């Protein structure tokens, strides 16, 4: 057993990011300014997006996408129960009703064949979550949205840099929301990005900073003017130059980060497949996963212990793991408000009960990976049926 604890997903930060942050702190401008603007431009160029807006979180990006589309009370928004609560919470924030649709058993993404049946006259948008970094079936979902005149929003929190049929996630005109949280493939500690049509981005930018028609950099730089107008009641969702400084350095490393994540995923697949105790994550031929997660699913009848006990056994062997996700419909608020029961979405519920996310980050060494697999093998030796 390894002597030190292996964290599940620490940030991949080096001296470049530290120096960039120090440079911002020592400058005359630390909030939203020139570095944030440059980060938006470089991010848009990287994913091939027509426009990009740097924000305080992916949650902010999803929220502003709904607000900018005019979605509110009386409207319905379709999404998946297999996601972090923020995806559904933003629908509640605008006063709309979340309509949940079950997932595919292999990718754990929203099941496209069930989406059309969930559309009503009140449906205004679909939020598709690219679970674990594996793209949803975008062609199918886009055709459904086009046919029914509803907006497709992509929750791309896990999917930088993922590709669907050779196209980067976030390269379309529809809104796509990215996360730069501490555990994400690209991190700014906290933060997010909204990509999409430039007119939508321009509208979202106003909402993101109190509804002002001029941001602080435009008002307070030498060429700026102090005067501004409020054109709508907005929010405080802007990114700072301190965060953007990190993002600019992280973007330079994305090719290396993806390559290492792909390598780790391949090694896990090679080492875990012979154990025949788990269903392993898939990568469809027309997709490139960002490999944000490596979620394994314990096969029924393999172990004498529960999934939660398996996680505890991994912790006792100094291996950090996690679970992605607890289905949204099982949380108290949604269960009580919408009268959900576990089997309303049986695939999401049943798959979530056997999920364990293994450590996956560029800091993992070959020895670390072998320690993870050795811990799993030891648990199988002790608790296999």
Domain assignment present for residue 169? The answer is yes
Is residue 351 domain-shared with residue 217, that is, in the same domain? no
Long-range CB contact pairs, 227-234, < 8 A, 24+? 231/206, 232/206, 232/207, 234/206, 234/207, 234/208, 234/209, 234/210
User: Which pLDDT value is given to residue 217?
Assistant: 54
Is residue 107 domain-shared with residue 125, that is, in the same domain? yes
Spatial separation of the C-alpha atoms in residues 4 and 360, rounded to whole Å: 17
Res. 7: pLDDT tops 80: yes
220, 252, 284: which is the final residue of a domain? 252
Is residue 246 domain-shared with residue 265, that is, in the same domain? no
Is residue 40 domain-shared with residue 21, that is, in the same domain? yes
Token representation of residue 334: 């949604």
**CATH for 75:** 3.40.640.10
State the pTM of this model.
0.97
Average pLDDT in the 197-205 region?
97
Output the DSSP codes for 92-160: HHTT-EEEE--B-TTT-SB-HHHHHHH--TTEEEEEEE-GGGPPP-HHHHHHHHHHHT-EEEEE-TT-T
Domain assignment present for residue 187? The answer is yes
Q: Name the percent of the chain lying above pLDDT 90.
A: 94
User: Which pLDDT value is given to residue 250?
Assistant: 98
Choose the catalytic residue: 35, 124, 184, 203: 184
Is residue 93 domain-shared with residue 192, that is, in the same domain? yes
Domain assignment present for residue 350? The answer is yes
Is residue 116 domain-shared with residue 230, that is, in the same domain? yes
Q: Which domain holds residue 235?
A: 15-252
Asked if 253 is an active-site residue, the reply is no
**CATH for 263:** 3.90.1150.10
252, 285, 320: which is the final residue of a domain? 252
201, 233, 252: which is the final residue of a domain? 252
User: Which pLDDT value is given to residue 228?
Assistant: 82
Domain assignment present for residue 377? The answer is yes
User: Which pLDDT value is given to residue 369?
Assistant: 98
Domain assignment present for residue 348? The answer is yes
Average pLDDT in the 213-232 region?
69
| pLDDT tens track for 133-181 | 999 999 999 999 999 999 999 999 999 999 999 999 999 999 999 999 9
Number of domains, the chain: 2
Is residue 285 domain-shared with residue 372, that is, in the same domain? yes
Question: HEC profile for 323-342?
Answer: CCCCCHHHCHHHHHHHCCCH
């Amino acid at each position: 057993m390894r002597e030190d604890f292996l964290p599940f997903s620490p940030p991949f930060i080096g001296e470049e990011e530290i120096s960039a942050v120090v440079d911002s702190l020592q400058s005359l401008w630390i909030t939203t300014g020139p570095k944030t603007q440059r980060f938006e431009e470089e991010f848009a160029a990287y994913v091939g997006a027509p426009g990009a807006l740097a924000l305080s979180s992916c949650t902010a990006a999803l929220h502003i996408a709904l607000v900018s589309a005019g979605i509110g009370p009386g409207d319905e928004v379709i999404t998946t129960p297999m996601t972090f609560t923020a995806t559904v919470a933003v629908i509640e924030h605008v006063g709309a009703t979340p309509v949940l649709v079950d997932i595919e058993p292999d990718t754990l993404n929203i099941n496209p064949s069930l989406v059309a049946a969930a559309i009503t006259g009140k449906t205004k948008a679909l939020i598709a979550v690219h679970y674990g970094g594996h793209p949803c079936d975008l062609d199918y979902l886009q055709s459904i949205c086009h046919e029914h005149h509803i907006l497709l929003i992509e929750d791309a929190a896990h999917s930088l840099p993922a590709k669907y049929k050779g196209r980067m996630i976030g390269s379309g005109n529809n809104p796509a929301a990215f996360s730069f949280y501490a555990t994400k493939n690209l991190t700014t500690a906290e933060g997010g990005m909204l990509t999409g049509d430039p007119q939508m981005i321009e509208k979202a930018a106003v909402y993101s900073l109190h509804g002002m028609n001029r941001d602080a950099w435009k008002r307070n730089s030498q060429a700026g003017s102090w005067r501004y107008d409020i054109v709508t009641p907005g929010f405080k969702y802007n990114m700072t130059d301190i965060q953007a400084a990190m993002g600019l350095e992280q973007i330079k490393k994305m090719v290396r980060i993806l390559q290492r994540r792909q390598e780790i995923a391949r090694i896990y697949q090679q080492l875990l497949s012979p154990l025949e105790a788990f269903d392993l994550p898939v990568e469809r031929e027309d997709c490139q996963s960002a490999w944000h997660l490596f979620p394994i699913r314990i096969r029924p009848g393999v172990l004498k212990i529960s999934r939660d006990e398996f996680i505890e056994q991994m912790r006792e062997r100094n291996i950090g793991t996690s679970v992605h996700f607890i289905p949204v419909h099982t949380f108290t608020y949604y269960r009580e408000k919408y009268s959900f029961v576990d089997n309303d979405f049986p695939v999401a519920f049943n798959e979530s009960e056997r999920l364990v996310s293994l450590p996956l980050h560029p800091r993992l060494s070959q020895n670390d990976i072998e320690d993870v697999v050795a811990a799993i093998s030891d648990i199988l030796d002790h608790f296999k049926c």
